[in-house]
Amino acid sequence: MSEKWGIQLRSDEEQNGEAARQMEFVDEARGLVAELSEQMGRQLISHITTFGCQMNARDSEKLRGIFAAAGFTDTDNEDEADIVIYNTCTVRENADEHVYGRLGHLNSVKRKKPGMIIGLCGCMMQEQHVVEKIRKSYPFVDLIFGTHNLYAFPELLVRTLKEKKRIIEILEATPYLPESLPTERKYPFKSGVNIMYGCNNFCTYCIVPYVRGREISRKSADIIQECEKLAADGVREVMLLGQNVNSYGKTLDEGIGFAGLLDAVCKVDGIDRVRFMTSHPKDLSDELIDVMAGNPKVCRHMHLPVQSGSDRILKMMNRHYDREHYRMLVENLRHAMPDISLTTDIIVGFPGETEEDFEDTLSLVREVGFDSAYTFLYSVRTGTPAAKMENQVPYDVAHARFDRLLAEVKVSAEKMCSRFEGQVHNVLVEEKNRQPGLVTGRISHNLVVHLTGDESMIGQIVPVRLIQCKGFYYLGEPVR
């Protein structure tokens, strides 16, 4: 349960009451939007840009759902929108810079369209210094809210439309979960499902625990019910989302852990594939590996961020595992599921990282053989313990290491990717390819496949022969 500055996650009854209240604001917004549309002689247009992770992408689906329910038409082109929302990320500094850069552009658009509404939400807005900067230097921003009051977006939207003055509302913790809000999914056939919010791990480089708050798990019955509803609505693949899904259930009295939840989700009729993200190595249980191996609906993919191959650095990062433990997890996973895909996150240039530490990371990549790795240059985040550590690695040293790591990851990924050549795998077709006559989808192992086909195949799971590996993806042919 979240408790900070007096804010606590409210009871079920209060959650339901607040959800009903917000739906009344959706109705009110619909009335206001209809009036404005009539005055302008056209429909009002909304745009959302999402930065960052899958959790933000899921939050944006809720924003989009509320806009749609209020009568807005969605556009990909922010320049033509009447209201623009940036759902921000702050995990690394370049994400912040990107937002400031884009705001500069929006300002010039708004000068030509004075009625345009600009809103900011997401993780960056949970940082006081960011909100201060925007308050002072970005006067054209009309609405600012954070990760903990997404549930109140209908109310904030109504106020923005009515009050025509700047609104800044940030909470320090989550009183209400946003789960009952209308949602507009990007893909009809697959969906993210939040199973928990926040993070309690405090890895020393990471800002997430400060901006997303303490860990809260949703009740398993609510999660299952959401999966059932999604299945009834045509969803075939769900991705269970949390900063550290392996610690699911710790804040509940249900006696259920992530393995139990995964097993229960797999029992939902109509859901054919289950993915999850992200796993922390310190909490990955044998029971989870058993559930995965015993259940063909669970995708053969594990994203298991290692961050570094050096025990010394892992300790300084407060990761609570060492290289040997990580290697043992990989061994157990591969023993249970020999062809499983393994992907990871790696940070280069953490404070105090020596050439020897870095070489430990390179050798770990070689030893494990990752299917792919997201590699990041360490980025100083104000307020985290690592920001105050001595021996910050000079940029050019970190950059040179980053390039070497990228080359190593490429070798590993290409080798791993080619192991499926000639095999037949089920592909969930996701979209048309830019090249006519081709569609694109993913196999259970999360590898992308381009195959011959047409739009009618989107949302279907089809057997495909993986004919040619092109490094990180495959060209394939459906098997009739």
Q: How far apart are CA 246 and CA 285, in angstroms?
A: 8
Nearer to ligand 5AD, 293 or 387 (CB): 387
Q: How far is the CB of 255 from ligand SF4 (least distance, A)?
A: 23
Q: How far is the CB of 408 from ligand 5AD (least distance, A)?
A: 16
Candidates 202, 221, 411, 470: give the one binding ligand SF4 (CB under 6 A).
202
φ/ψ of 278, rounded to 5, equals -115, 150
Q: Which residue is nearest to ligand 5AD (CB)?
A: 345
Sequence-distant (≥ 6) Cβ neighbours of residue 344 within 8 angstroms: 303, 304, 305, 306, 368, 370, 373, 374
Does residue number 361 form part of the binding site for ligand SF4 (CB under 6 A)?
no
Residue 172 in tokens: 């320090």
Candidates 149, 191, 194, 244: give the one binding ligand SF4 (CB under 6 A).
244
Size of the site for ligand 5AD (CB under 6 A): 12
**β-pair partners for 196:** 217
Instruction: Starting at the earlier edge strand, list the strands of the sheet with 83-88.
Output: 73-74, 45-50, 83-88, 117-122, 143-145, 167-169
Residue 359 binds which of ligand 5AD, ligand SF4, none (CB < 5-8 A, kind-dependent): none
Its sign, for the CA torsion 158, 183, 50, 222, is positive
Does residue number 201 form part of the binding site for ligand SF4 (CB under 6 A)?
yes
For Cα atoms 100, 143, 170, give the angle at the middle one, nearest 5 degrees. Answer: 95
The secondary structure of the chain in percent helix, strand, coil, rounded to multiples of 5, reads 45, 20, 35
Does residue number 375 form part of the binding site for ligand SF4 (CB under 6 A)?
no
Omega within 30 of 0 (cis) for the link into 88 = no
Does residue number 125 form part of the binding site for ligand 5AD (CB under 6 A)?
no
Of 78-117, binders to ligand 5AD (CB under 6 A) are 91-92
φ/ψ of 252, rounded to 5, equals -110, 165
Candidates 280, 301, 401, 425: give the one binding ligand SF4 (CB under 6 A).
280
Q: How far is the CB of 305 from ligand 5AD (least distance, A)?
A: 4
Query: CA-CA distances (angstroms) from residue 300 to 9, 329, 347, 446?
Result: 35, 15, 25, 8
Q: How far is the CB of 122 from ligand 5AD (least distance, A)?
A: 14
Nearer to ligand SF4, 203 or 239 (CB): 203
Candidates 276, 378, 402, 474: give the one binding ligand 5AD (CB under 6 A).
378
Per-residue binding string, ligand 5AD, 330-359, x by CB under 6 A, is ---------------x-x------------
Does residue number 208 form part of the binding site for ligand SF4 (CB under 6 A)?
yes
Nearer to ligand SF4, 71 or 305 (CB): 305
Helices and strands in the chain, H and E counts: 13, 21
Does residue number 55 form part of the binding site for ligand SF4 (CB under 6 A)?
no
Q: What is the DSSP letter of 76?
A: S
Q: How far is the CB of 94 from ligand 5AD (least distance, A)?
A: 9
Q: How far apart are CA 109 and CA 103, in angstroms?
A: 10
Sequence-distant (≥ 6) Cβ neighbours of residue 314 within 8 angstroms: 307, 308, 321, 322, 323
Does residue number 243 form part of the binding site for ligand SF4 (CB under 6 A)?
yes
Residues of the shown chain interacting with ligand 5AD in the complex, contacts defined by CB under 6 A: 91-92, 205-206, 305, 307, 345, 347, 376, 378-379, 381
Residues of the shown chain interacting with ligand SF4 in the complex, contacts defined by CB under 6 A: 199, 201-203, 206, 208-209, 243-244, 280
